[in-house]
Structure 1
Amino acid sequence: MAELSPQEVVKVANKITPAELASDLQLLEGDAKKFDLTVRRAPYTPAEKTSIFSIFSSNMKSFYVDSSFGWKPLVKKAELFHSQARYIVARRSPSSFSGEVAGYLGWRFVVDETVEGGEDAVVYLYELSISPKHQKMGLGRILVEGVEELGRKAGMKKVVLTSLKKNLGAVAFYSRMGYEIDPTSPSRSEPDEDQNEFDYEILSKTL
């Protein structure tokens, strides 16, 4: 059988239902059992949208205000709640916070261009955000390990994300998780350019 193209791999992956993805997350062990993990995709409820954007804003607004991206809530909401966006949403297990969202990871299955001009099927991690009172509990690691497992099962080649250089906590976290600067990141793809013009890095991890 001929190998599927990146476009075909992504097309198949985007047909996987949230219930099918969630069943794979149930196989996670250890600290993952402390949380109820569900997979969501559009349409989102008003409560879900409020929780997701509130956690994102509390953690990231100050970084965006000082970045080249700027703080543009309407643009960010359109990205967060795009029709192809998917989320792993975490709540405490057993729920001791009345179903309150503890954190989430938002991603899409997409075709990404390589520096050589080729294409890869990848998991693009758009947002990982943990509510302040649920931080330092290992939830970020659980969510990233979860989406990596989903990406492997869906046939994705790697996980890709964009991280602001000033967000030192995120940079250190992804380094511990095995992520490295991707060849498409400006510091590698445009080494002769003034790197002060770029306030972000593109990171990736092969699956």
Structure 2
Amino acid sequence: MATLKIRLANSASTSALAPELPRISTLSGDRSYEISLVKSEDLSPQSKKAIYQLFDSNMSTLQQVSSFPYTEKSKSEELFDPDARYILVLSTSTTTSTSTSTSTSTSTSTSTSTSTSTSTNPSTSTSLKGKSKSETLEGNGDPAKIDFGPGDLMGFCGFRFDTEETLGTRDAEVVYCYEVQLASHTRRMGLGKILLDILEGIGNRRGLDKVMLTCLKSNEAALAFYTKQGYTPDEIDPTGMDEDDNDPDDADEEQDEDDETFEWKVDYRILSKSLRDTDRNI
């Protein structure tokens, strides 16, 4: 059950969660990008498609043979849950546009582009910088949708606020990182660290206990990255708990289970990073 702190975080505006966003920054090679925070409900259908395509391009090979297989429908329901938020990294060669009530996009491509596209309708293109939701309205008075295509999306971090069980009597209040995904041409440029730093700052400002995430063991590059950023196995990480509880006398029985039934061992790690010892005044 959501605590008051989690309910307040879920109802907070994007500007309250991350007052420093949106902002424009530059990568090595003078490549600029805009980073912003949005609610999933404010994404246009084209934007949601771009997010799903990037996830699927990066993760389908690993995840479809794991204990977390998915279909486009099931994954989209998870990605675009009403409580989901996104830290977006978008190329500034085409600034984020707010779509009108009649969409100008007719793209139905399911491939993930790794090139940076140019705007086909520059007259309606507008940067998110300095804009509040009330300043970007459609003709009918409803908030305009954030609109971008696969070629504009350099990366994203998807997260939610939630409570998670602990080994104690009190549930932890956490910001749960569901995804950190980068386009292939934007990796090893420091964007992953930037996304996590912003996410940790958001959790820090809300006074939450920690950031949590789940990572497949087969995704060795991601595990190494999270470890480098200070993430360690959480107290409820099933692999860690299994190692702690390992009894040599049970070895033969466990081997029988593996040989005669199925490989039951978990294929993921639950990692976390405490926010309780950091400065709340970021």
Name 1:37's counterpart in structure 2: 35
Name 2:274's counterpart in structure 1: 206
Instruction: Name the stretch that deviates more: 124-133 or 34-43.
Output: 34-43
Kindly name which structure, 1 or 2, has the bigger radius of gyration based on alpha carbons. 2
Structure 2: tracts of 5 or more residues without a match: 96-115, 119-147, 247-253, 255-262, 276-282
Q: Deviations over 1:6-39 (max 9, x none)?
A: 7011111112112333423468988599431111
Which has the larger share of helix? 1
Distance in 1 of aligned mates of 2:179 and 2:213: 8
Mapped contact 2:163–2:171 kept (Cα < 8 A) = yes
Alpha-carbon distance change, 156 to 28 in structure 1, aligned in 2, over 3 angstroms: farther
Alpha-carbon distance change, 114 to 27 in structure 1, aligned in 2, over 3 angstroms: farther
Q: Deviations over 1:133-157 (max 9, x none)?
A: 2112111111011100011001111
Q: Give TM-score, length-normalised by structure 2.
A: 0.66
Alpha-carbon distance change, 107 to 19 in structure 1, aligned in 2, over 3 angstroms: same
Name 2:174's counterpart in structure 1: 122
Query: Percentage identity across aligned positions?
Result: 33
Alignment of 1:2-151 (within 5 A): 7-25=3-21, 34-43=32-41, 44-93=43-92, 95=94, 97=116, 98=118, 100-151=152-203
Mapped contact 1:115–1:189 kept (Cα < 8 A) = no
Distance in 2 of aligned mates of 1:88 and 1:27: 11
Does residue 160 of the first structure (1) align with residue 156 of the second (2)?
no
Q: Deviations over 1:28-86 (max 9, x none)?
A: 98859943111111322111111100000000000111101123322111100000000
Mapped contact 1:90–1:102 kept (Cα < 8 A) = yes
Q: Give TM-score, length-normalised by structure 1.
A: 0.88
Distance in 2 of aligned mates of 1:155 and 1:31: 31
Mapped contact 2:173–2:210 kept (Cα < 8 A) = yes
Find the residue that maps to 2:15 and give its secondary structure: helix
| Selected match of 2:238 from 172, 186, 197 | 186
Distance in 1 of aligned mates of 2:18 and 2:154: 17
Mapped contact 1:124–1:160 kept (Cα < 8 A) = yes
Paired letter, 1:131? A
Paired letter, 1:172? A
Give RMSD over aligned pairs: 2.6
Q: Deviations over 1:124-174 (max 9, x none)?
A: 000110111211211111101110001100111100000000000100000
Instruction: Name the stretch that deviates more: 36-45 or 76-85.
Output: 36-45
Paired letter, 1:122? V
Distance in 2 of aligned mates of 1:114 and 1:34: 41
Find the residue that maps to 1:24 and give its secondary structure: coil
